[in-house]
Amino acid sequence: MNNKANILVIDDEEVVRLSYFRSLSGEHCKVELAESGKDALQALSQHAFDVVLLDLRMPEMDGLVVLKHIKQQWPDSEVIVITGYPAIDTAKQAVALGAYGYLAKPVGPDEVINAANDAMTHKRWTLRSEPVQLCTGTH
**pLDDT for 1:** 41
DSSP reduced 3-state for 104: strand
The domain locations on the chain are: 5-127
**pLDDT for 26:** 86
User: What's the predicted TM-score (pTM) here?
Assistant: 0.89
Residue 48 sits at the vertex; the CA angle it makes with 93 and 76, to the nearest 5 degrees, is 45
> In the chain, which stretches have pLDDT less than 50?
1
**pLDDT for 41:** 97
Inter-residue contact 34 to 45 (CB < 8 Å): no
Could you say which architecture CATH assigns to the domain 5-127? 3-Layer(aba) Sandwich (3.40)
**CA nearest 135: which of 103, 121, 16?**
121
**pLDDT for 102:** 97
